[in-house]
Structure 1
Amino acid sequence: MKLWLVTAASAALMAPALACASTGVGEPPTAAVVESVHHNALVLDSHADVLIDSTPRRYFLPDGSSRVSADKLKAGEVDAVVLSLAVGPGPRDAAGIAAARSEIDAKLAAVQASIAASQGQLVLARSAADIVKAEQEGKTAVLLSFQNARALGTDIGAINALYDQGVRVFAFNHAGHNDWADSSRPSEGEPVAEHNGLSPVGRQAVPRLNDLGVLIDVSQLSKDALLQTLALSRVPVAATHSNARSVREHTRSLSDEELDAIKANGGVVQVTPFNTYLVQLDEAAKAKVREVRVKYGLSSEFNAGNDNYSTLRGDTQQAFLDELAQVQPRATVKDFVDHIDYIARRIGVEHVGIGTDFDHGSGIEGYNSAADSRAVTAELLARGYTPEQVTAIWGGNFLRVLRAAEAARRV
């Protein structure tokens, strides 16, 4: 059995190691030590997307495969992955909602098909206990999450139906506001805030999710919406795929105020290896980005996340993003762990974890699929994190908040 639980004794060890971890230097661990620590941890990825036929090709690996396929999860000894039934921004009229629901249904079917085709390697988990049981049996647990209530319109009762289908993590939005909450990345033409945080439907949804025992995911929320969610929730939350804004400016990442609030809530921030959130562009890179933008008819001005390209459609948008990726510097595992370091120093090792956002544009040098997961363990150990801390970061912290959400169930 892997050592996934953060005990009081191991938590007490966390503070001394952070002094070393914060320097970003240390003796490289041997391959045997990395393998031992990685094998003994319950390795959990708290957010990955689901590929379907309509998914843009840029999200697939060059060979057309998924970054979290069963073989890559096994190769990286990833014991659990949270797969997101997610939709992006889009129309909020009846036709738009119907199309979004259809996409959710297609992704659920894809997950079910992958589990069926895995010959028992993948198993659907409905609880933290199921995840631990799967790991003990040498299997990989799949936990379902949902992202972007645009697909639900204003139907708060749909939360119950999602729960019945196995969803145990719920995120209000993606890029673009919806009828439940404001996003940290408004779509082009939208105001900075539509609801000044959560809408009335969103405010009602928080206690409903608590009552169901569903873990609330605060990634992608505006700051006001995030803080309101924390105030309303009676249990800890998770930001399943977020980064530190103080390390790399991006509206999608979390400010120090948000990090501190998540700590006070008892929650966890799961850092994502998403290139755009990790690398600060220098002036030469900015100039190249401007050239690509002008080539595609966009303004040469852009924000920290290059988010204002929504006027481009279909193949044109994909070509633009492909070309954009070629002129931007690539982040490394060190850049990724810098965010883990910052969050651990600011709010504690017990409040940080890993959520890759693989299959939705994420992936960096050295950590481009689940198969590369040991590289993160190696970097954490090299920075002075103890095996207990690495275990907490990889899965223990997320399982703690998932259990807390389950314990709040009242229906």
Structure 2
Amino acid sequence: MRVMLSILFIFSTSLAFHGTSYAEDEGTHYQSTVVDSHIDTFMHTLDETTWLPETDIGEETPFDFDIPKGQEGGLDVPYLAAYTPGYYENTPRSISETLAKINGIYWTEANNPDDLSITPSYEDIEQAVQDEKIAAVPTIEGGYSMEEDNAIELLHQYDDLGVKALGFTWNYSNALGEGADRVYGDPDETPSEGGLTELGTEVAEEMNDLGMMIDVSHMARTTFWDVIEVSEDPVIASHSGVNALHDHQRNLTDEQLEALADNGGVVGIVFYPAFLTDESEGYVEDVVDHIDHAVDVMGMEHVALGSDFDGAPMPEDLQDASELYKITDELENRDYSEEDIEKILGENHLRVLEEVEQNEEDADKGVTVTPSLEMGEELADNTPILQADIEGEALNESDFRIIVDGIDHEPDFDEETGTLSLELDEPLKERFHAVTFEAETGDGETERETKIFYVDTSVDNMKTLVEHFEAEGAFENDEVVRSLNLHLTAVGQFEDQEESEKIVQHTEGLQDLLDYQHENDLISETAYSVLSNDADVLKDKWQ
């Protein structure tokens, strides 16, 4: 294992982001670059049924973090998590939810271009801070979207989308490794054993190559130790406490803290009182107690902040991001120097990000790829034709690729028009998807573009799915198929007439039919899950 040296750095600009109500001489907190390595706000900003963006955090919200609160609290660099607890044996839905939350971050950037930028690199963060914008860093909490057949390609797609850190597990175990609860997410919570899987090892090594940070929070301790052994780059614990002060499976032992420091990594101290104290309530001083202990064990260069805003209850005197300055006040009360406070507030996190990052020259590769769809675009058909325009000379057409949700497809290329295209053989079963268009020159230079898109839910799309599931043998008999198609035809007639009340009524009848078929083992689990989910979306769409 390569031990990374702790390299201290200071932004080339000395001006950290300020909320508009703060002057430049407000003290250490507002002069520092403040990083929070775990914020769960995008658990709450999406419509519960469609997963489309619903709440703009550019305005005041009830959430722990939004742009106004971040500005008021001097938060420069929030790591915004795309969290999913996973859908057991339903990887496509885990992919869809993960992409929905990443899409929500892009939607937020589009709505607030003067206040927030997605920053997939150290250089981008530096520029955003200089421009007095919040520098949003997308991360993923829970690698439940990743399985043997899609993990590496999907990881590359996440990297394309600006994701800088991946937590392999939430509390449930998965194909990458064992989670903190040491059980799988099935209804029986089947016990798991072992640490990092063979696939998890492959993903960890690929993340090192890509310049993505491995997040060990929520891992079982067996998995943690395997990651420390495998990773040649520094890793992070984005939101954890110290076990010596409060015994909890989500906290790190002193041995783990020492190993994390030896690895060159950093721990973001969580604010969640249940991880910090035996008492029913927590306070800022409890957070700083954990900082104190981590500093004693690890050294000043390896301790940082990882609040878990919007993912857990907060201390009584630190309810949201607007009150982050209270951490700095308490550090000053305990005689931390200004230099050390700046490290804890942000420099330590950014050192790791810079060390892990793979700097590629932004050279002209001789080929450009222009997808026909925009980020987050809605498509009407669940068997869409996905296209991009390719421009360049001496192109190696045999190596052109289109990747959908981590699965590689062989596309068609029209040399005359320069159009790279793919018509999917099977209907897409979930709502959110990622597509990557990749082109290569004869010299081996590769260019790729990745977009997230959303498939609308309609009666026609549901009929296509029924036909697909019938071909797969998902229904017990022809009567099951006939009943579903009859209900869908009735809903479709009212959809054409835009009679919302009758659409909702008949969609509820469709849901009752699906429930009956499921309870009587007339429909497969996958078909029931997909069609039932679509019925909910269709009902919500017209309600």
Q: Give the structure-2-normalised TM-score.
A: 0.57
- Percentage of pairs with the same residue: 29
Aligned to 2:132: 138
Q: 1:268, 1:352 within 8 Å by CA — same for their partners in 2?
A: yes
CA contact (8 A) 1:185 1:252 kept: no
Query: Contact between 2:210 and 2:358, CA under 8 Å: does it hold in 1?
Result: no
Partner in structure 2 of residue 147 of structure 1: 141
Residue in structure 1 matched with residue 487 of structure 2 by the alignment: none
* Counterpart residue number, 1:406: 357
2:240 maps to a residue whose letter is S
1:399 alignment partner AA: L
Taking the aligned partners of 1:43 and 1:186, their CA distance within structure 2 comes to 34
Q: Which residue of 2 aligns with 1:54?
A: 48
How far residue 64 of structure 1 moved from its aligned partner, in angstroms, is: 5.6
Could you tell me which amino acid in structure 1 is paired with residue 27 of structure 2? Answer: S
Task: Select which of 155, 158, 164 maps to 1:159.
Answer: 155
Once the two structures are TM-superposed, the CA of residue 279 in structure 1 deviates from its matched residue by 2.1
> Which protein has the bigger strand share?
2
Question: Partner of 2:121 in structure 1?
Answer: 127
Partner of 1:86: 83
Given the superposition, is the C-alpha separation of residues 123 and 342 from structure 1 closer, same or farther in structure 2, using an over 3 Å criterion? same
| 1:355 pairs with 2:346 | no
1-structure distance, mates of 2:321, 2:156: 31
Matches within 5 A, 1:71-110: 71-91=68-88, 93=89, 96-110=90-104
- The answer to whether residue 293 in structure 2 is matched with residue 342 in structure 1 is yes
1:169 maps to which of 148, 165, 169: 165
The separation in 1 between residues aligned to 2:102 and 2:358, in whole angstroms, is 26
- Please give the alpha-carbon distance, in whole angstroms, between the structure 1 residues aligned to 2:359 and 2:222: 24
* Cα deviation, residue 34, structure 1: 9.7
For residues 348 and 407 of structure 1, the distance between their equivalents in structure 2, rounded to whole angstroms, comes to: 26
Moved more, 361-370 or 39-48: 361-370
Question: How far has the Cα of 1:335 moved from its partner?
Answer: 0.6
Shift of 1:119: 3.9
Q: Return the alpha-carbon distance in structure 2 between the equivalents of residues 133 and 245 of structure 1.
A: 37
* Cα deviation, residue 128, structure 1: 1.4
Q: For 1:6, which of 5, 8, 18 is the aligned residue?
A: 8
Structure 2 letter corresponding to 1:159: L
Question: Are residues 409 and 224 of structure 1, via their aligned partners in 2, closer, same or farther at CA, if it must alter by over 3 Å?
Answer: farther
CA contact (8 A) 1:212 1:409 kept: no
1:177-233 C-alpha deviation (Å, 9 max, x unpaired): 001110112348546643x11011001111100000111111111111111111111
Find the counterpart in structure 2 of residue 366 from structure 1: 317
Amino acid in structure 2 at the alignment position of 1:245: N
Paired AA for residue 276 in structure 1: A
In structure 1, what is the Cα distance between the partners aligned to 2:111 and 2:23? 33
* 1:107-122 alignment, distance < 5 Å: 107-122=101-116
Q: CA deviation at 1:272?
A: 0.8
Residue 108 of structure 1 and its aligned partner are, at CA, apart by 1.5
Q: Which whole-Å CA distance do the structure 1 matches of 2:211 and 2:228 have between them?
A: 16
Counterpart selection for 2:213 from 212, 215, 219: 215
1:135 is paired with a residue whose SS is: helix
Question: Which residue of structure 2 aligns with residue 388 of structure 1?
Answer: 339
SS at match of 2:123: helix
1:263 counterpart = 2:265: no
1:404–1:119 distance in 2 versus 1, CA, 3 Å = closer
Q: Conserved in 2, the CA contact under 8 Å of 1:272 and 1:356?
A: yes
CA contact (8 A) 1:356 1:362 kept: no
Partner of 2:439 in structure 1? none
Give the whole-Å Cα distance in 2 for the aligned partners of 1:184 and 1:34: 43
C-alpha distance in structure 2 between counterparts of 1:263 and 1:34, whole Å = 33
CA distance, structure 2, for counterparts of residue 355 and residue 119 of structure 1? 25
- Change over 3 Å in CA distance of 1:366–1:409 after alignment to 2: farther
Provide the C-alpha distance between the structure 2 equivalents of 1:149 and 1:237, rounded to a whole number of angstroms: 16
Greater relative contact order (Cα 8 A, min sep 6): structure 1 or 2?
1
* Counterpart Cα distance in 1 of 2:221 and 2:287: 23
Aligned letter for 1:346? Answer: V
Contact 1:181–1:197 at 8 Å: present in 2 too? yes
Q: Tell me if structure 2 keeps the 8 A contact 1:380–1:390.
A: yes
Asked if 2 retains the 8 angstrom alpha-carbon contact of 1:34 and 1:377, the reply is no
Return closer, same or farther for 1:69/1:250 CA change in 2, 3 Å cut-off. Answer: same
Cα deviation, 1:301-352, whole Å, max 9, x if unaligned, reads xxxxxxxxxxxxxxxxxxxxxxxxxxxx210000111101100011111110
Shift of 1:45: 0.7
Whole-Å separation in 2 of the counterparts to 1:99 and 1:362: 27
The one-character-per-residue Cα deviations of 1:278-298 (angstroms, maximum 9, x if unpaired) are: 1214xxxxxxxxxxxxxxxxx
The structure having more radius of gyration, on CA atoms, is 2
How many residues in Structure 1 have an aligned counterpart in Structure 2?
Answer: 329
Shift of 1:89: 4.3
The 3-state SS of whatever aligns with 1:150 is coil
More helix by share: 1
**Could you tell me how far apart the structure 2 residues matched to 1:34 and 1:179 are?**
50
Alignment of 1:188-203 (within 5 A): 189-190=188-189, 193-194=192-193, 196-203=194-201
1:87-127: per-residue Cα shift (whole Å, max 9, x none)?
A: 01441x1xx22222221122112111211222410001011
d(CA) in 2 for partners of 1:234 and 1:127?
19
Distance 2:255 2:294 in 1: 12
Partner of 2:536: none
Aligned-residue RMSD, C-alpha: 2.6
CA-to-aligned-CA distance 1:222-268 (integer Å, 9 cap, x gap): 11111111111111111011110111111011111111110110110
Which of these residues, 344, 348, 352, is aligned with residue 397 of structure 1? Answer: 348
- Kindly tell me: are residues 351 and 371 of structure 1, through their superposed partners in 2, closer, same or farther at Cα, counting changes over 3 Å? same
Contact 2:86 2:145 in 1 (8 A): no
Structure 1's 114 and 65: CA in aligned 2 closer, same or farther, altered over 3 A? farther
CA drift of 1:407 comes to 3.9
How much does 1:408 deviate? 7.9
Aligned residues of 1:35 and 1:374 also touching (Cα < 8 A): no
Q: Per-residue displacement from partner, 1:112-151 (whole Å, max 9, x unpaired)?
A: 1211222410001011121121111111100111121112
Mapped partners of 1:407, 1:97: distance in 2: 29
Q: Name the CA distance, whole Å, in 1 between partners of 2:301 and 2:64.
A: 27
| TM score, norm. by length of structure 1 | 0.75
Which runs of no fewer than 5 residues in structure 1 stay unpaired?
A: 9-30, 56-60, 282-328
Q: Supply the AA of the counterpart residue of 1:70.
A: I
Contact 2:243-2:252 within 8 A present in 1 as well = yes
Structure 2 residues without counterparts, runs of 5 or longer: 1-6, 11-21, 50-56, 362-445, 447-543
